[in-house]
Structure 1
């Protein structure tokens, strides 16, 4: 995917989010800019998503953002 972006003539700004996670405010801003709910951003495969029960409606958006 990165190669495809570069081939289009764009040079993306890469953020290593595992090394430098976004702040809560940055995350809220990104979600708002993308028009997504926190649950839509969660990775489901290869993660503890099911073990933590993150698909359960009891988790509020605020709680999911704070994880």
Structure 2
């Protein structure tokens, strides 16, 4: 099963979902703006991505610019920010076989799907 943390309003997210459908992947679509990811889910994503929580933050979002830009927060505080404001989570994130990739560029998704 392949999971996609998906925002249907995002072009890159729609492209990643279309790729998964084209390749006949069994897909679990998680519309994370409707069903906020938990602290545990975000922590797990960060670990699978091999990045710091700050690297999963969308810095172009209005809420980031107004409330977080320039602040030095701990990893836990960045995760808390994403739990409280899931719009801050970079998208899309695709997960398969314990690996995850941010679908920007789409080639990142291709790597985890077919180069295990």
Range of TM-score over shorter length: 0.7 to 0.9
The TM-score with structure 1 as length reference comes to 0.79
Task: Give the structure, 1 or 2, with the largest relative contact order (CA under 8 Å, sep 6 or more).
Answer: 2
Tell me the alpha carbon deviations over residues 19-63 of structure 1, each in whole angstroms, 9 at most, x when there is no partner: 11111112111111111211111112233212223343x211111
- Name the structure 2 match of 1:27: 42
Instruction: Please tell me the root mean square deviation across aligned C-alpha atoms, in Å.
Output: 1.6
Q: Which has the larger share of strand? A: 2
Identify if the C-alpha distance between structure 1 residues 44 and 22 changes in structure 2 by more than 3 Å, giving closer, same or farther: same
Cα distance in 2 for partners of 1:23, 1:7 equals 29
Offset at residue 7 of structure 1 (A): 0.8
The TM-score with structure 2 as length reference comes to 0.50
- Aligned equivalent of 2:64, options 41, 49, 53: 49
Q: Is the 8 A contact 1:39 1:61 kept in 2?
A: yes
Larger radius of gyration: 1
Aligned residues: 66
Identify if the C-alpha distance between structure 1 residues 34 and 41 changes in structure 2 by more than 3 Å, giving closer, same or farther: same
Give unpaired runs (5+ residues) of structure 1: none
